[in-house]
Structure 1
C-alpha cells in the first residue's frame, strides 16, 4: 500500500510540472503574440486575382513574419499581366503607387518579373522612400535595377535551373528513350529562358515539333525560324528521325499552334516516344491543360503552380517556403534599418520537391527518388508501408509471445503451488530443527529487535520485542562494547556477521551463558532493507572449546619443554665433547710428548668451544628474559645516522679482508628514531655476523633509506653470499633453526632479533635468492618529520 501511494505521489508531481510547463509555453506564446510589431506590406502580383500561381505563398509569408515578431497586414494589388500590354501595365501600377501615398505602408513586395519590371519602370518617387523587395524574378532587368542603386531596392532572383531539372527527370525516369517536351515562348522572357536551354542541352538531342501550316499566323512561324537560326538550331527542324533509344528534348510552340494541329503533333510524338514528360520554365495557362489532357507528367523549374492542383509532379525550384523565408528575413533587416549592403540581386536557394499524389498516378518507382527530395502529399500508408509491414509482423510475434507467456505463467503457477506445498513442509522441518537445536530467529526494523516464538522456549522470557538499550542491559559488561559495535556495523557492512555474546536473561549475574548471533541483510516485500538472523545457545560448545584450548596449551608447553631440552642437549653436547676430549689429551698420559704447536692449537680449540658454550648459555638466558618480559629496554630518541656510522667503523676491522664492505647512507642528514640503542646495535651486529659467516666472496653492504611518505626508515644488511631457499624463509626466525646443521651457532640469533625489533615497534623484512645473496632489513618509524 505504501509503495502504491509513493508512486501516486510522484505521478501527481509529474502531472503538475507538465501542466506548469505547458502553461508557461502558452503564456510565452500569448505574450509574444500580444507584443508583435504591426507592419503594413503592399504586395504587387503579376497575375490576376483569381489566377493560379501563388498558392499558399501569402500564408507562409504571414507565418514567417510572426516567427520574427511582426504582425503583418497586406495591401494587395494584381497587375493582370496576361490582359495588359507593357505600357498599360506601367500606367496601371503608377496609379496604384499614387494611392499608396495616402496609405501607411512600410514596405513594397513585388512577385514575378512583370510586376517588378512595371513597378520599377514607373520610376515613382515613392520608391525612394519605401524599401522594395522583388521576389521570384526569373530574369531581372539589371540595367533598370541599376537606376535604383542608391535606394533600398533588392531583387530575389529565381532563374530556372534547366540542367538540374533535366537531370532530376532522368533520375526519376531512367529510360534511354526519354523525351522532355519544352514550351517555346517567343516573348522577351521566353528568349532568355530558351537561351538558358541552349547552354545546357546537347543540340544533337533536340528536335522541333511544328510545321508552317500548323501555326495560327505565318508571322509567328517566321519569328520561330528566326529564333532557331539565332540559336543555331536549324538541324532541329529536320531532326524527326531520332532513334527511340536516345534522350530527346522536344521543342513545342504551344501558344502559337492551332489546337487541333497541336493535339495531332503531340499524339504522333507520343506514339513514337512513349516516355514523355513536360518541363515548364514559366507558368503558362495554355500549355498545362494540354499536357494534362495528354496525361503527360509535368515538371517545373519555378514555384508557380506547384501544389495548386495544376498536376505539376515536381522539380528543382525555389519553393513557396524558401521564398517566404527569404523575403521575411530580408524585410526584417530593411524594416529595422539595418545595413543590408550589396549585391542588389540575390539568388534564392532551391530544393528538389515531388508531389506524391501526381507522381504515383503514373506508377513510378519510389526507389528512383533520391534521398534529398522533399515529398509532399505523401500518405502515411505509402510513406511508412515498410513500417506497417514490420508493425504487423511485430504484432504477430507479440501475440505469439503473449500466448507463450500465458502458457508459461499457467505452468509456473502450477509449479509455484507445488513449491508452496514443499515450502510449508520445509517450514515444518525447520521448526522442528530449531526446537532441537535451541535456535531462535530474530530481525531488526526501526531499531526494534523482535524474536520468534521459539525464543520463549530458549530463554524462558515472554517478552519478544526489545529496544537496543534493553538488549545491552542483558549482556555481560565485558561484552557490551562488542555487542554495541556489532549492532552498529550491521547497517554499514553487507554479508554475514557472527558474534559471540554472554547474556543473562533472568537477571542473575552468576548465570551468564554464551549465545551466538548470526545476522545478514535482506529486502522485504516493499524493497526496504531489513536485518535478520538467528540466536543459538552455545554454552556447552564454549565450555568444550575452553577445555580443548586448555589441553592444547598444556600439550604445547610440554612439547616446547621437550623440544627445548632436546635442542639444548644437542647444542651443549657438541662444545662439551670438544672441551672434555682435548682436556683429557692435554692432561692425560703422554701429554709431554705432544708437540708445542699442536698443544697450542688444542688449547685454542678448548677456548673457542668455551666461548660457544658461553654464548649459547647467554642466548638461552636472553630468550628466557624476553619470554618472561624481564628484559628491560631503555627507549630514547637516537640519531640513527650516528649509530650506523659507529657500527660501520667497528665492523670494518671484523669483516673478512676478501670482502668489500660498503656504507650506503646520507651521512650528513640526521635520522631520529625512538629505540634502545644497545638492543638495536645487537640486531644489526647479528645481521652483519651472519653475512660475514655465509659470504665467501663479493661484498657486504650496510645501508639506510628514508621513506618520507610512510614516515619510516629502513636499515638493511645486504650480501652476495649463498642465500636462503624460499621454502626456508618462513622458518629462519624459529628457535634453534639453522639452514645448515654443520654450521656453528645456536640457531637463536634471528629469533632474538625478531623479538627485540617487535618490542621496538618495528618489523624485519627478508629478501633472499639461492646463490645470489640475502638482504635483511629493519623497518622503524621516524620520531620526527625530516
Structure 2
C-alpha cells in the first residue's frame, strides 16, 4: 500500500511539473513495440503515434525500441527490456508508450525502476492484468479484448459449409489465456450450433507435420476454419500454406496468412495513445484517465479473399475493411477514367505538334530579329556597366523583391571581394548576402530598402552606421543613401551608393579633438541670410539649444560686452564686407552662465566671380580667456611683488625702530647701574625693572619674528592631543594676572562645573590666548579684561573669547586688524605681528577668529574652534 501511495505521489508531482512546462518543452518518449520492425503494421504504429502528439500540440522526440517477443524467451525479454530502460534513462525519458501485451508486461517484470518513475501509456493489450494496473497509478491506456463468439459467428456467416473449427496455440502466456477465453466462448457458440466440432492443436505438444496435415492438406482442410488466439512465427509459415481460412485476434498476422483479424486498427490505436499521452504530459493524472476498451472490427487480407473466392463487397458489407488490396482494385474507377484521358492527351499532343511545327518557322524569323535586339541590349548593358564601374563610390542595385541586380567594382573592392568577374556575379542573391549595414547594433539594410520601395523617396544612411562584410568579421564606418529607380511611372528597384569614410572619420575626430583641446571653433557668415553659422558645441557654450546652428547678426551683437560693442561693430562690418582681409578681433562674449569671456575672431574673405564681389566669409574663433586671466594674474603678481618690496622696507624700518627702542632702554639703564653710588635703592630697583621690562619686550618681538618665519616656511609644528580647556585657561589666568596694568582686573569666565576637553595643540592655543590678553592690556588703562569659553550654537564647536573695556577699534582698523605690521596706534609698543600670527594658528586648528569693537567702550575677540582637530 505504501508503495502505491508513493507512486501516486510521484505521478502527481510529475504532473504538476509537466503542466508548467508542457506548452514549451520538448518531451522524450520511449515507444516499445512487442515485435520487430519487419511486421506489416510497425510503420502505421509509428505514424499514428506521431500524429497523436502533433494534433495535441505537444513537441516530442520519439525513440522506438522493438522487443521481438516472438523470437526471445521471457527471461531474455526482461534483459532486453532493462537495456531499453537504461538507454531511456540516459535520454531522460519523460513517458513510455507500449504496444501489445508482451511489451507492457515485460516492462513491469524486468525489475527496472523506470516504469515506476515515469507515466506509462499502453494500447493493444488483449488480456489486461487488473491487479497490476491497480497497483500502478501512473499507468493508463487502451485494451482490445478478444471476442471469440463474434469471430466464430462471423466465420459462420462467411463460410457456412465449414463446421470444423481448429484452434492453434502454443505454450506462451498469451496463447494460454486465449485458449481459456476461446473455450468459454466455444461452449456458448456450440449451444446454438451443436453440429459444429472443435479441436485444439498445440504447436509445442503436437508434431509439426500433424498440424500441417490438419490445415494445409486440401482433403483435410476442406470443411475447416482455423482460429489463432495468438499469432506466432510458426503460424506465419503455416498460414501462408493453409487451405483453411485463418481467423486471428491480432492484426500482426495480416499479409502473413490470416484471412481475417478481429482487432482494433493499428494506426487509430497508436493515434489515440498519442493523444492520451499528450494529456498526461500536459498534467492530467493517469489515474484519472484510467483504462478504455478500444473499438475493434474485422480486417481482411485481399489476397486471402481471392484465394477463398470471397466477394470483397460481401466482406465489407459485414462491417469490415480490406488491406493489401492491389492498386488496380483500389483505384479501379480512376484507372477507367485515366485511359480515355491518356488517349485524348495523345490526340491533343499530335495536334499541338502540328501547330507547333507551323509556328516554328515563324519563330525562326522572329528569333533572328530578337537576336539583333538582344545584341543591342547587351551592348547597352555593357555600356551601363562601364559607366557604373567608373564611379568611385560603391554602387549596388536591387529589385523590389530585394534581390541583387548589379554591383560595381568600387563596392566589391570596398568589401574586399573579387571584382575581376564584373558586377553581375552576385545577381539574384538576396540583400544582405554580401554585406549588411548596422546602426546602434541593429541591421537596418532591409528596413531602409523596404522604406524606399514603399514610399518612393530616398533615404540617407544614418550617421554613425557601419557596413559589415558577410564573408568576414570586418566592418567600417559608411555614409551614403538609397534612392528609388523609377520606370514607367512605378518603382522597379532601388540603388544604394556607399562610401568607406574610415579615413575621413579619423581625420574628423582628430580635428574635433584638436578643436576641443584648443577651444578653437570654425565659423561662417552667410551673405544671403546675414547669419553666422557656428558648430553646435560653441553655441551650447553661449547658452543656445543643441538644435541651433545659426544666429543672426543682431543675436551675435547681443552676446558682446556693451563696453566692447561700439568698437567691435565697425571692425566686424569691415571684415564682413571684405575691406579688412585678415582681421583679428578680441572682445568679451556672454556664455551660458551669464559670465563674459574673452574671444579672438579671425576671418578670411573668399572672392567671387570678380575681385570686387564676395562669395563668402569664414573664419575661426578661439577662447583667449586663459591668456587674459594669466595676464591679469601676472599684473596682480607684479603689484604684489611691488607691495612686498614696500612691506619689506617698512618691515626693516619698523623692526629697526622696535628693536632699537628696548635696546636703548637696556643699554642706557645698564650704564647707569655701572655706578650706583649716586642713586638710591628705589631708583636702582626702578632701573632694574625698566631693564627687565624692555628685555621682555625685546624677547616677545624676537619670538614674533621667529613665529612669522616658521609660518612663512611652513615649519611651524602642531601636536594634537586631548586637553582640559578649563585647566588651560586657568593656567593662562594664573600667569597673566600678575602682568596686568594698574587699575585693570583680569577675569576668567567659564560655565560652572564643566569639564570641557578639546583635541588641539595646547601650546599654540595658549599662545593665541596670551597674545589676545597682551594685546588687550596694551589698550586698557582701567576696567576689566575678561576671557573664557562658551558652547557654540553648532554642536561640536566651542567659542573662546577675550574682551576688554579699553579704547576700542574703529571700523577702518577692524578691516586691517589681522594684516601683518598693522598697528592701530603707532605709538604703542609692538611690531603689529601678533594678531596675524594668531589668525594663522587658528586657521591651522580648523577654526576662525573674529573681532567686534566700539570706540571708547572696548573690544571683543572671538575664537571658534572644533572640539576635535587633527
In the superposition, the TM-score normalised over structure 2's length comes to: 0.33
In the superposition, the TM-score normalised over structure 1's length comes to: 0.36
